[in-house]
Structure 1
Amino acid sequence: MRRPWIFSVALAASILGASLSSHAALTADQALQQFNLVVLGNAQSYSHVDGRTFIGGNLSGGDYAQHASQVPASSFAGLTVLGNVTGVNVNGLGAYVGGNLSSANINSGTARVAGNASNTNFNGGNPTAVGGSTSGVNFNSGRLTGANATRALADAAANANSVNFGTLFNQTSSSLRTLVNTSSVVFSGNKATFNAVANNGVAVFDLTAIDDAVFSKGEYAFNLNGATTVIFNSDNTSIHISANFLGGSAQTYGQNFVWNFYNATDITLSSQFGGSILATNAKLTNYNNVEGSVVVNSLDQRGEIHLQPFAGHIPVTPVPEPETYAMLLAGLGLLAAKRLTGRRR
């Protein structure tokens, strides 16, 4: 006897599974490992980024993928920009530009430009694809044309847009802010000492009641006590940190810290800073080096962003996007219809 509802369950599961896989191409852990910098909007740079960069808007200036040989593997290029790009140097892993590219040097890897290209040198070693017009361009590695270029650009665009970083990191930030505090901060003069207490390797500092006191100090010291992932949650909207991370802790713990500035709209860092920064609504201005991954809304980069691939574990699972639920409901509706049809026969 045929059971239509069994088919419907399988179909609903298939729909849900396909949706989850399409919207969860990267976990937060993986994204912080593979990307040194994610900017959801526009960015301008007067410095360099060691690792892989994603820009959701327009980009001006900067050098990218400075240490390409040390960057964790990924399907993404060394520099991915969905908007327009001007005045950049890409020194590893290639580039994808969704808009126009001007006054640039792509010195290594494959280059794909959906729009126009001008005053640019393509030296990457693989043939370049440009979708629009060209002016003052040197295709030193050759150029794809016709159907080959069309196919290459379509494939590159699909890959560049395969992860919704805004959704991924907004959900991650919202989940992290709900974590229960496990640790404490001790103040002594101009120093704040962070004493971690880990649960399954994860220590949480809820700074909500002491943000101003913490950020006003000039020195930070850390006692991890076995913690391998340390989460700092802050609800301040405007943040200025100039503290010195004592004993080289900015570099030592850059792979283990996540600073979740979930309410921030403006962040200024004046000294070397250690750890990944998660601030999806904020403009970041850094006047010194950041030792870790950066995820912000917009960026004015004045100091270097150094490669410290995240080595901890984000202890939350982001919820599916709204369209996932819609597709699941559609599948369940089909299930109900099939069962009803079966009963009428």
Structure 2
Amino acid sequence: MKKTYTIIALVAGLYSQVGIAGPIELLNQNNLIVFGNLQSNSEVEGKTLVGGDISGPASNYGINLAPYDTALVVGGNVTSGTTINANGHTVTVAGNNNGTINSALTVTGSSPVNFGLVKNELTDFSAYLANLNANSLLDSPNGNQPSAANFNIDSNIGNGMAVFNIDTADLFGNGLVQQYDINFANQSPSAVVINVAGENITDASMGNPVGGFNKANSDFIIWNFYEAIDIKLDKRLQGSLLAPLATLTISNYIEGSVVVNNLYQNGEIHNPIFNGDIAYNPIPTVSVPTPVPAPSSLLIFAAALLGLSLWRRKSSIDK
């Protein structure tokens, strides 16, 4: 019998840990994470977490989620005059709902997310990525002749991580960049990490992404703006964006997970969310809203294990 109780305890413990996630899981499970406030007039295809208030005339969430999933968690308030469309999904608001929410279920008064822990996890992760040694190089135009910029992955990467460490002046602030591409050199990197130094970033003077910067590759590319305070993007960005200190303003779409301090959203945030393999394994401490089996299901499963054990014991006695 002791063995049976041990098995049940282990099963129960396993189920109780379903809601625990580290930074890579947070990026993989959520399309948009805003630690502070979100002002939106656009849409997010996956899940959204907002630690502060949400405002804006109208915004859409959870367009590509499975039925009855949680599309939006708001740690603060929904401001007056704001309309939220959750496309048949659940919305949770910890503060006051002063707007209009169109959802299958709206829950107010509590939040299943500890946003302080979420911020700490992702800020630490950004710092970790920023300290990685570069193993691949950006070739960007200089002088007076406009041309293309190319992210050249080293030919010895194989299936490891490709890491670029660049300054904002090399790309985003370089008016000579007509377009930019990524050269995989027949490698299959588990993730492409692009660390961008600089506090104030805008892409107004540069060209668009082409070639390898496309939807098919966006799920394993991550742009880490680890020290940015203000980011303004007018052009599309292929890959996830991690900028835990920044206020971000977008006017075009981003193809990947987005993590920022505050967001002014006038462009869509698309799937695919980040799915790259990065060698980062701290002890996860963040609780996130993930499906957990109902207690009745767990009891049924435990009872089945107990019954099986008792049957085996009886059979051995009869023999």
Q: TM-score range by the shorter chain?
A: 0.7 to 0.9
Corresponding position: 1:236 with 2:236:
no
Corresponding position: 1:102 with 2:59:
no
Asked whether the 8 Å contact 1:259–1:276 carries over to 2, the reply is yes
Asked whether the 8 Å contact 2:51–2:115 carries over to 1, the reply is no
Q: Shift of the alpha carbon at 1:214? A: 1.5
Equivalenced residue count is 252
| Aligned residue identity for 1:191 | A
- RMSD over aligned CA atoms reads 2.5
1:213 corresponds, among 146, 161, 170, to 170
Distance 2:73 2:284 in 1: 25
Q: 1:185: which partner in 2?
A: 138
What SS does the corresponding residue of 1:164 show, helix, strand or coil? Answer: helix
TM-score normalised per structure 1: 0.68
Distance 1:33 1:319 in 2: 17
Question: Once the two structures are superposed, what CA deviation does each residue of 1:27-80 show, in whole Å capped at 9, x if it has no partner?
Answer: 22211111000000011001111110000000013211122239xx98xx2100
What SS does the corresponding residue of 2:95 show, helix, strand or coil? Answer: coil
Matches within 5 A, 1:136-155: none
Corresponding position: 1:274 with 2:233:
no
Q: 2:160: which partner in 1?
A: 201
Asked whether the 8 Å contact 2:32–2:259 carries over to 1, the reply is yes
Q: 1:302: which partner in 2?
A: 266
2:74 corresponds, among 81, 92, 96, to 81
Distance 2:239 2:115 in 1: 26
Distance 2:171 2:75 in 1: 37
Stretches of structure 2 that go unaligned for 5 or more consecutive residues are 1-12, 286-319
Distance 1:56 1:295 in 2: 12
| Aligned residue identity for 1:183 | S
What SS does the corresponding residue of 1:96 show, helix, strand or coil? Answer: strand
Stretches of structure 1 that go unaligned for 5 or more consecutive residues are 1-17, 115-152, 322-345
What SS does the corresponding residue of 2:66 show, helix, strand or coil? Answer: helix
Question: Once the two structures are superposed, what CA deviation does each residue of 1:133-186 show, in whole Å capped at 9, x if it has no partner?
Answer: xxxxxxxxxxxxxxxxxxxx6xxx3x2338821011011011111111000111
Matches within 5 A, 1:235-274: 235-242=197-204, 243-247=207-211, 249-274=213-238
Asked whether the 8 Å contact 1:65–1:78 carries over to 2, the reply is yes
Distance 2:60 2:234 in 1: 21
Indicate the percent of aligned positions where both proteins have the same amino acid.
Answer: 35
TM-score normalised per structure 2: 0.73
1:164 corresponds, among 88, 93, 117, to 117
Distance 2:237 2:147 in 1: 17
Runs of 4+ with deviation above 6 angstroms: none
2:183 corresponds, among 223, 230, 238, to 223
Q: 2:29: which partner in 1?
A: 34
Corresponding position: 1:43 with 2:42:
no
- Cα distance change, pair 162–56 in 1 and its aligned pair in 2 (3 A): closer
Distance 1:293 1:252 in 2: 14
